[in-house]
Amino acid sequence: MNSREIIFERFIAPLKKKRCNYIGIEIEMPLVNLNGKTDKAVCTDAFARATERFGFMPRKFDDDGVCHEAICDDTGDVFSFDCSYNNFEISLGRVRTLHEAQARFRDYVGFINNILSKNNHTLTGLGVNPNYKINDYNFVPSPRYRMLEGYLKKCRIWNGPFHPFFGFGTFSSASQVQLDVTEDDLCETIEAFSLVEPLKAVLFANSYLPEKPELLCARDYFWERSPHGINPKNVGFFEPLPKTVGEVTDYLSKASIFCTERDGKYLFFYPIPFDEYLGLDTVGGEYYDGEYHACSFAPEAEDIAYLRTYKQIDLTSRGTLEFRSACTQPLGEAMTVAAFHLGLKGQTKELIALLKNSFLYRENGSPAQIRQKMNRADRLSTVDEEKLKALLTDVLSLCRDGLRERGYSEEIYLSPLFERAKTLSSPSRRLLRQNDIKKIVREYACL
């Protein structure tokens, strides 16, 4: 098979013939020591006790024998440390309603924070760990994370407009949602959610970085200005927006692969567009075995399993679209991200019409350009506040209609977003106005 056929089998063939309406939710949370540097022993102890309490089975161990991932066979829920022992992730197995997700999330976080509090630690709802300057930057010592660490550190050597935070994965946290998608509604869904991305920056910005005070949401900056962003097709937006499934297939065939596995070792290399990669005789890369070693290998069609993009909207190999651009939210408002996407998923035609006819797109440019503007702390000097409030309210009303049509009373999770729309106040803006990080950490940890 050629690269396009391989891409089709990997990403297009799994698309559902009809909507299943399952929800997948992943929430990463910084582990914060209120008195300073995060203590790994405190974090791994809380992880082990939660694993035992909720009947999870240990699944992955680091090079020192410490469990960093565990799964519940009954629910499919997963506990893990994402990139580092400063970042805890709860991945909820497929659920039918947000109430199911909320109940399990609250149980897990409540139990874990009760343990952590005894050592002045907490999980909290911030998109950047406030102690990132003093915490341990080391990645989880396991084959996959050693590979990722080596790859991201290449920002020191490779040419590119890279930021200096190669370890951003160890201290940045996101709230990600996966929804089933059909082949028929794939392109329309990508278009609708691309158009709404700028408004998500207004509602969900929560990754303030003092070194970039002009940004309320540093998340885009982290990914796009890292080695992941060498090929623009691996990050950011679909540009141009695809109109057909064939165009999606062509687009993904030009996304770059940067890692694979041979003989039980993860290899990484300078990113290569997949359609070019398959035509090469050999590729030079590196692997970790106590230290990083150079190697060479021959590309194989099966390496498609390692092709991964990090776009605002990702098409996965599970027949879902993954929405990746939202920061972790205050934990008492954790379901707002999933509620927003779920409510709009069935309203894509209406959403497209609303946004295309709005002042936002008549006056400002492409979704990528407008999101950059909305991410900025000074955006209100260039955008009509009253028009923006009205548009946010209209979008949220459309979202509420979509949730009401589902019939589960899930629209209750939108209440914080309507309040944010009225004041144009994201969690990052609240943080800057309060200017007391310990108070914010405690406030955003409350369920």
Q: Is residue 252 part of a domain?
A: no
R_g (Cα) of the chain, nearest Å = 21
pLDDT digits (tens, 9 = 90+) for 114-127: 999 999 999 999 99
Domain that holds residue 425: 11-243+310-445
> pTM of the entire structure?
0.96
Q: Is residue 70 part of a domain?
A: yes
Q: Is residue 414 part of a domain?
A: yes
Q: Which residues contact 57 (CB under 8 A, 6 or more apart)?
A: 51, 70, 71, 72, 73
Residue 45: CATH number of its domain: 3.30.590.20
Whether the pLDDT of residue 20 is over 80: the answer is: no
Q: Is residue 416 part of a domain?
A: yes
pLDDT digits (tens, 9 = 90+) for 158-180: 999 999 999 999 999 999 999 99
H-run or E-run covering 333? none
Q: Is residue 46 part of a domain?
A: yes
What was the pLDDT predicted at 382?
76
Least-confidence region, from 13-27, 65-79, 113-127, 256-270: 13-27
What was the pLDDT predicted at 321?
97
Q: Is residue 196 part of a domain?
A: yes
The fraction of the chain above a pLDDT of 70, given in percent, is 99
Whether the pLDDT of residue 17 is over 90: the answer is: no
Per-chain mean pLDDT for the chain: 96
Q: Is residue 5 part of a domain?
A: no
Whether the pLDDT of residue 12 is over 90: the answer is: yes
List C-alpha distances in Å: 258 to 113, 145, 151, 283, 400: 37, 14, 8, 10, 40
pLDDT digits (tens, 9 = 90+) for 320-336: 999 999 999 999 999 99
Q: Is residue 94 part of a domain?
A: yes
Q: Which of 176, 20, 29, 193 is nearest to 95 (CA)?
A: 20
CA-to-CA distance for 324 and 176, rounded, in angstroms? 5
- The structural domain count of the chain equals 1
CA-to-CA distance for 260 and 356, rounded, in angstroms? 41
Beta-sheet pairing, 310-311 with 235-236? parallel
